[in-house]
Chains A and B, each alone.
Chain A
Amino acid sequence: MFGKKRKLQGLDAITRKLMAIVGENEVLYKKEDLISYECDGYTMYKGMPRAVVFVKDTQQVSQVVQCLNKEEIPYIARGAGTGLSGGATPLGGEVLISLVKMKRMLHLDLENRKAVVEPGYINLKLTQSISDKGYYYAPDPSSQYACTIGGNVAENSGGAHCLKYGVTTNHILGLEIVLPSGEIVEIGEEGVPDQPGYDLLGLLTGSEGTLGIVTKVTVKVLKNPEAKKTALAYFDDIDDASQAVSDIIAAGIIPAALEMMDEIAIEGVESAAYPVGHPRDIASFLLIEVDGIAVGIDDQIEEILTVCKQNNVREVKVAKDEAERSLWWANRKMGFGAMGAISPDYLVQDGVIPRTRLPEVLAKITQISRKYDLRIANIFHAGDGNLHPLILFDASVPGESERASRAGSECLKEKRGRD
């Protein structure tokens, strides 16, 4: 009791004001408690926050924001902290407003195919909670096991299936946000996203919390496709794999997902927790999924396999059951984290190029890898030309982080140059 009083006396005025809003136990301020908040999934840059505040409802967000605004203390909204672009990374001295405790589903309206969730609601949990009724939430970033829907809105997250279904912004029907003034605003009333006037939902989705903190999200939920087929195609030459990607799209097929991994990436995922048993001497594989009405799905997958064969594929196979399909996807979705098995650190870049230029850009990335003497793995959404070069490095080796950073920038410049 006395210890607690003494403890609170040593705190600065801001921390105490925040505690008055959210409660003593909902503010972290000790160095040891804060240090794990100095970065998110992107570990290249770090900064110590001044405090972390856990809010439980919209009113508290508004009060906290007003308090910090008045004191002119910068703040950052944070979800699960799985982002790979440093969206929740402090520069130093900010207050982090953590939304993970706002994690309820507020409303489910399957007739109108929508759900209202709080920002801390976990992406995958939404699909899990409605799958028995035959529905799902389409945006599926690889971190969906842990990332929050609020974070997805902030980053406009994509995912393996955005080739056919679009990214987060295509699935948001409405938002409640707290503006920097503390004012609470609703956008997209009655679940109708396209209101007269500016496309504010489009502006807010992907704004990384800089325009306001999202406190409620209305999302679309979709009916499960009637049928799904998933195939793996192994290639000896990465150019052939790239050409197959372009040819599949050119054949008029829009797969639900069309993913690619190169040799180093395969080494990583096969050394990690979900090995599939991919041949280790191939240059690349494509993971292809088609979905839709059952009639015609076999023809689609056949056509894709034919295209692969025309492009000198070594081997193609179709998942024989849901267990095999799940393993293939786990292997792919855990791909980034799996790099830990072959490298102490990695830096991921995110860039989009026209599909047809995949071979030349991949060749250029190989050159950059040689130039900086750092291995670069490629795991990416080939179908929409969205590259994710993963630059592998060891931060404990002096100078290697900087080299990785320069290599990463050069990869992106290369992509820009080709657009």
Chain B
Amino acid sequence: MNVGEKERETMDLVNMLEKGGPACETKTLGNYIWDDLPDPDKWADCVHCGMCLEACPTYQETGEEQHSPRGRVYLIKAVAEGKIDINDAFSKPVFDCLDCRACETACPADVQVGGLIEEARGQIRQAIPLKGLKGTVSKTVLNGIFPNKKRLNMLGGLMRFYQKSGMQTIARKTGVLNVMPSHMKDMEAILPEVGKPVLGRYPEEVPAEGKTKEKVGMLTGCVMDIMFSDVNEATIRVLNHNGFEVGLPKQQGCCGALHIHAGDRKTGKKLAKRNIEAFKDYDKVLVNAAGCGCALQEYDELFRNDPEMLPLAEEFSEKIEDVSKFLYDNDFKRPKSAINIKITYHDACHLAHGQGVRFEPRQLLQEIPGVEMVELPDADRCCGSAGIYNLTHPEMAGKLLDRKMDDIPENVEMISMGNPGCMLQIAMGVEKHGRSEKVVHTVQLLDWAYEKDKQKMKS
């Protein structure tokens, strides 16, 4: 679909009627005519030097300029200059981006490619709403399930039922799963054992062990709390053990990252508002899912066109920190018991590139006695998970997963990381490649070491 002159006029008219004044001067930017315009300052930073090219997983795979960060920025700018329309050919490179931010690490001028991609996607989804099966799936999953805690918990319950009732065994044995697309089947094969979500089950304030150092809020997340509630439990225990009271305000919910990535900024904002409100009494909010942490840190970016919300969002973003960085910066208790294991560490994109956290999680792991760290080559190259990219772009995600698995050193027993999406994806890689490494979250290892300490104390 092309956005023609006529539609632009209609939009201007709509804007005029809604806002009560001529909107065309401020409300459009070339062929961007929809609400929440992209930020020209972001592409103004790009001088087209190309330092980002080799950092970009999709460029590495395709070699095509429009699938590189520099190319995408160029296209996004070209729409603003009226050189090209918002259509499918523009949409493809913008949506094929993993939003992994590796380009932001490589960029000499700090161009915020990720933010720009998300803003452009917001325009595309308003110009070309998803139709057919894709539209229905997106509506049900992104709008129907993730924002709604009850439905999300119900889904968790259903999955638990599927696993516990024996249905999973039957489904796997009978080959019923073969009707699913192969990437969905691969994912089913590695579904972690679904526990009960922490939020709602735990008290809103979980007291520290011993003297309370500080009160911190914690985001329990949506996928994390359903698929990896054990990681949430471990995070709470580790924080408590370090003297922190953990606040789990019930009002919190999904961070909206998946929606923002998919171009649905409206739902993203709704969810952001809910979290800003939920954590208003906390000075520090900790996150154990890199993707969510990055999204929360960028709520100010999400509300850049909303003068009313912007100051609140800025204040909120300042409070957000990844749990591994927080523990390291706050002199975490060094475990005394040894866990004798060889591990490697994978940098989640939204932790390394998105938040600049690389050193601290490695340090947490290495300070556990007995842990031997083997560095993973190109540890900060995307594993292909990228939110729900592995579901929307299975082919590219599969290639990146294969590369990741090829890089994983032969002799390690565990792969540690700080993001649930990567944990699912890499677990799928382990299964697919017939390997045996255990996939763990960084704080889980620390939790085990503390548990050992506690058991020793008891005996």
Residues of A within 8 A of B (CB): 28, 30-33, 35-37, 39-41, 43, 52, 54, 80-82, 98, 100-101, 103, 120, 122, 143, 145-147, 272-274, 334-341, 343-346, 394
Contact = CB atoms under 8 A, between A and B. Distances in A.
Contacts of B45: 340-341, 344
Nearest to B50: A82
The main secondary structure of chain B at its interface with chain A is loop
A405 to B, nearest CB: 16
Nearest 10 interchain pairs by C-beta = A340-B109, A337-B108, A334-B108, A32-B89, A337-B49, A36-B71, A82-B50, A100-B63, A344-B44, A340-B47
B74 interface: yes
Nearest to A30: B89
Contacts of A337: 47, 49, 51, 107-109
A275 to B, nearest CB: 11
A346 B47 CA distance: 7
Given A30-B89, A340-B108, A344-B44, 14 more contacts: A33-B93, A35-B75, A40-B50, A41-B49, A41-B50, A81-B50, A81-B65, A146-B51, A272-B108, A334-B108, A338-B109, A340-B49, A341-B45, A341-B109
A350 B64 CA distance: 28
A81 B54 CA distance: 12
Contacts of B64: 28, 33, 52, 54
Contact of A145 (B46, B54, B70, B87): B54
Interface string B59-70: 000011110101
A340 B111 contact: yes
A80 B53 contact: yes
Given A32-B90, A33-B66, A336 B84 contact: no
A80 B50 contact: yes
A272 B48 contact: no
27 contacts: A28-B64, A32-B93, A35-B66, A36-B66, A36-B71, A36-B74, A37-B65, A52-B64, A81-B50, A82-B49, A82-B51, A120-B63, A143-B51, A146-B52, A146-B54, A147-B50, A273-B108, A334-B108, A335-B108, A337-B47, A337-B51, A338-B108, A338-B109, A340-B108, A341-B109, A343-B47, A394-B44
A272 B45 CA distance: 10
A346 B78 CA distance: 18
Given A33-B66, A80-B53, A335-B108, A39 B83 contact: no
Given A36-B65, A272-B108, A272-B109, A31 B47 contact: no
Nearest to B41: A344
A33 B90 CA distance: 8
Nearest to A120: B63
A170 to B, nearest CB: 25
Nearest to B78: A35
Contacts of A37: 65
Nearest to B90: A32
Given A36-B70, A341-B109, A143 B89 contact: no
Contact of B84 (A31, A100, A273, A344): A31
B46 A340 contact: yes
A349 to B, nearest CB: 15
Most A C-beta atoms less than 10 A away, residue of B65, B68, B74, B93: B65
B106 interface: yes
